[in-house]
C-alpha cells in the first residue's frame, strides 16, 4: 500500500507503509524498548570463524569464540545482538561449506531466542565466500533481521535500517532507528584477475549508491514519522574521522581518561585505507590509496539530524569512543558532535590477543530524545571495561583509564 505523506521540515515523500510482516515468523521480530523503558544492544565484531579449519588450532579458536559469546550474553540482557562484520575469515574457508560457519556463529543467539542484525566486513567476501550467501544463510532463521535494501552492482549487501518501537503508546512511530551499512572490502566471490591470476579486490568503503539510498530513505522516514527519529549506526570499517582524531593533538591522540579504551592500532585502518595500514592488495601492489572515498558517507552522517553515534570494528587493537565535534587536521568536514566508537575484538580468530569482549549500548526512550547513550565493554572474564556516557560533555568528562590488555 502506498500513501502520500508530508511533515514539517521533511518535504513530501511516498512511503511504503507495509513495512512489517508479522505472523510470518514463529517469533516476534519487532524491536521494542522493554517495559522499564530500556533498549540494550550487544555488539560482537571480528569473530573471524573458520580460520585454519584443517589444523588443530583453527576449530579450537571457534570453540573459544562461542565461549566468549555465551559468557557475554550470560552477563547482559540485550534485546538485540549486532554482528558488526568479519563473522568469517573468508580467505581460509572452502567454497563447498564456507557459510556453514554461520550456524556456529548464531548458535548462542538461537539458544537464547535472541534477534540479531549483521553488517558484513572485508573478511566476509573472498574467492570462496560470498556475503550474499551469508545473508541467505542468516535468513533461514526468523531471528535474523539482516536485510539487503540496496542491490546495485557496487552497493555491497548489508545496507538496511530497523525501527525500535516504544514499550507502549503510539506504536506507529519508532523511538529509535538503527542504520546498518556495508563498507565492503575483501575479494570478489569466484573472480580471478585475467592478468595476475589473483583474487579481485573489492573497494573498502560505503558505496555512493548506498549513500544515496541512505539520504533518500532518511528523508522518506522523516516524512512518514513526522520527525527525525533519533538513530544509531553500524559499519564494520571506521570512517576517516577516527584516524584523523587518533592522529590529532600532536600525537597525544586518544586520551586515556577522556576517551578511555585501548588504542594499540595506531595508525588505525579506515575506509579506503592504504597498503601498510591494511590488507587490500593485488599481489604486492597497493590497490586502494586513501583519497577521501568515505567523504560522501561522512557528509551524509553529519547531515542526519539526531544521529547519536556510530559503531565500528575492524581495528582489533582499538576500542575507544570519541566525540567528533571539530574540524580535524587534514579533513574538509567539520564534526557536529556525532560520537564514533570501536567495539572490542570479540573473536579468537583474527589478529591480536587483547581480552575478548563485546561493546554494550544502552539507551532509554528519554535518553534517545536527548541524544545520549550509555556504553561499556563486557569482557569474556565477566568484568566490564570503559563504561562511559556519550552525552553532551563526553570528551570533557574524566573516566578511569582502560588497561591495555
Ligand X SMILES: *[C@@H]1O[C@H](CO)[C@@H](O)[C@H](O)[C@H]1NC(C)=O
Q: Of 38, 148, 209, 384, which lies in the binding site for ligand X, with binding defined by CB under 6 A? A: 38
Nearer to ligand X, 199 or 224 (CB): 199
Site string for ligand X, 119-148 (x = CB under 6 A): --------xx--------------------
Piece of 55-63, 168-176, 225-233, 286-294 that binds ligand X (CB under 6 A)? 55-63
**Closer CB to ligand X, 54 or 291, in the complex:** 54
- Binding span for ligand X by CB under 6 A among 50-58, 131-139, 238-246, 289-297: 50-58
Q: Which stretch binds ligand X (CB under 6 A): 57-65, 134-142, 151-159, 281-289?
A: 57-65
Question: In Å, how far from its chain's centre is CA 176?
Answer: 16
Confirm or reject binding of residue 25 to ligand X (CB under 6 A): no
Q: Three cell numbers at 41? A: 544492544
**Least distance to ligand X, CB of residue 329, Å:** 9
In sign, the C-alpha dihedral spanning 131, 136, 141, 142 is: positive
Q: CB-wise, 38 or 336, nearer to ligand X?
A: 38
Q: Looking at beta carbons only, is 296 or 371 nearer to ligand X?
A: 371
CA distance 255 to 267: 15
Binds ligand X by CB under 6 A, chosen from 75, 193, 306, 391:
391
C-beta separation of 148 from 160 below 8 A: yes
Strands (E), 205-348: 231-235, 281-282, 285-286, 307-312, 321-324, 338-342
- Measure the CA angle with vertex 230, ends 307 and 156; round to 5°: 55
User: Does residue 28 bind ligand X (CB under 6 A)?
Assistant: no
Binding string to ligand X for residues 65 to 84, with x set by CB under 6 A, is what? ------------x-------
Select from 96-104, 113-121, 222-230, 231-239 the region that touches ligand X (CB under 6 A): 96-104
- Span interacting with ligand X, options 32-40, 130-138, 156-164, 213-221, rule CB under 6 A: 32-40
**Contact between 34 and ligand X per CB under 6 A:** yes
User: Using CA atoms, how far apart are residues 194 and 191, in angstroms rounded to an integer?
Assistant: 9
Which segments of 186-288 does DSSP mark as H helices, in order?
A: 208-225, 240-246
Shortest Cβ distance from residue 69 to ligand X (Å)?
A: 13
- Taking Cα atoms as reference points, which of 156, 162, 163 lies closest to residue 210? 156
Q: What is the largest CA-CA distance in the chain?
A: 61
For residue 116, say if its preceding peptide bond is cis, omega within 30 degrees of 0. Answer: no
Comparison of 25 and 94: residue with beta carbon closer to ligand X: 94
- Name the nearest CA neighbour of 207 among 270, 142, 157: 157
Residue sitting closest to ligand X (CB)? 77
Closer residue to ligand X (CB): 14 or 27: 27
239-258 footprint of ligand X as x/- string (CB under 6 A): ----------xx--------
Nearer to ligand X, 37 or 226 (CB): 37
CA 323 to mean position of chain CA atoms: 17
- The stretches of 116-198 forming alpha helices (DSSP H) are 131-138
> Looking at 195, 284, 332, 393, which residue binds ligand X (CB under 6 A)?
393
The gap from C-alpha 10 to its chain's centroid, in whole angstroms, comes to 27
Instruction: Return the C-alpha cell found at 184.
Output: 565492503
Helices (H), 99-156: 101-111, 131-138
Q: Does residue 17 touch ligand X according to CB under 6 A?
A: no
Q: Which class for 274: exposed (0-12), middle (13-18), buried (19 or more C-beta within 10 A)?
A: middle
Min CB(97)–ligand X separation in Å:
4
With CB under 6 A as the contact rule, the residue among 36, 195, 284, 291 that binds ligand X is: 36
Q: What is the CA radius of gyration of the chain?
A: 20
Which positions lie near ligand X, rule CB under 6 A? 34, 36, 38, 53-54, 57, 60-61, 64, 77, 94-97, 100-101, 127-128, 249-250, 348, 389, 391-393, 397
Amino acid at each position: 500500500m502506498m500513501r502520500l505523506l508530508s511533515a514539517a521540515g521533511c518535504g513530501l515523500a511516498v512511503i511504503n507503509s507495509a513495512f512489517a510482516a508479522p505472523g510470518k515468523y514463529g517469533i516476534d521480530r519487532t524491536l521494542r524498548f522493554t517495559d522499564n523503558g530500556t533498549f540494550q544492544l550487544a555488539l560482537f565484531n571480528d569473530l573471524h570463524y573458520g580460520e585454519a579449519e584443517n589444523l588443530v588450532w583453527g576449530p579450537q579458536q571457534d570453540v573459544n569464540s562461542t565461549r566468549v559469546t555465551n559468557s557475554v550474553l550470560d552477563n547482559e540482557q540485550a534485546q538485540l545482538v549486532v554482528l558488526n562484520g568479519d563473522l568469517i575469515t573468508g580467505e581460509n574457508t572452502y567454497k563447498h561449506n564456507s557459510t556453514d560457519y554461520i550456524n556456529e556463529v548464531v548458535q548462542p543467539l538461537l539458544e537464547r531466542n535472541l534477534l540479531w542484525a549483521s553488517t558484513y566486513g572485508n573478511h566476509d567476501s573472498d574467492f570462496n565466500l560470498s556475503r550474499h550467501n551469508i545473508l541467505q544463510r542468516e535468513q533461514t532463521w526468523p531471528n535474523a533481521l539482516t536485510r539487503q535494501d540496496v542491490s546495485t552492482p557496487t552497493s555491497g549487501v548489508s545496507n538496511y535500517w530497523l525501527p525500535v518501537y516504544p514499550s507502549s503508546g503510539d506504536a506507529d512511530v519508532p523511538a529509535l532507528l538503527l542504520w546498518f551499512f556495508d563498507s565492503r572490502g575483501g575479494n570478489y566471490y569466484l573472480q580471478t584477475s585475467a592478468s595476475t591470476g589473483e583474487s579481485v579486490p573489492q573497494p573498502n568503503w560505503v558505496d555512493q549508491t548506498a549513500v544515496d539510498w541512505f539520504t533518500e530513505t532518511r528523508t522518506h522516514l522523516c516524512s512518514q514519522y513526522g520527525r527525525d527519529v533519533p538513530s544509531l549506526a553500524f559499519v564494520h570499517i571506521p570512517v576517516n574521522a577516527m584516524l584523523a582524531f587518533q592522529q590529532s593533538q600532536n600525537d597525544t591522540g586518544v586520551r586515556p581518561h577522556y576517551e578511555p579504551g585501548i588504542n594499540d592500532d595506531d595508525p588505525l585502518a579506515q575506509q579506503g585505507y592504504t597498503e601498510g595500514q591494511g590488507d587490500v592488495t593485488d599481489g604486492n601492489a597497493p590497490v586502494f590509496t586513501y583519497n577521501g572515498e568515505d567523504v560522501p558517507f561522512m557528509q551524509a552522517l553529519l547531515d542526519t539530524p539526531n544521529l547519536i553515534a556510530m559503531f565500528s570494528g575492524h581495528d582489533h587493537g582499538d576500542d575507544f569512543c570519541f566525540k567528533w565535534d571539530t574540524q580535524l587536521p587534514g579533513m574538509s568536514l567539520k564534526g557536529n558532535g556525532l560520537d564514533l566508537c570501536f567495539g572490542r575484538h570479540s573473536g579468537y580468530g583474527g589478529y591480536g590477543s587483547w581480552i575478548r569482549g563485546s561493546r554494550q549500548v544502552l539507551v532509554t526512550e528519554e535518553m534517545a530524545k536527548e541524544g545520549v547513550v550509555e556504553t561499556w565493554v563486557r569482557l569474556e572474564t565477566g568484568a566490564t571495561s570503559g563504561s562511559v556516557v556519550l552525552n553532551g560533555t563526553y570528551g570533557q568528562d574524566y573516566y578511569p583509564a582502560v588497561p591495555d590488555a
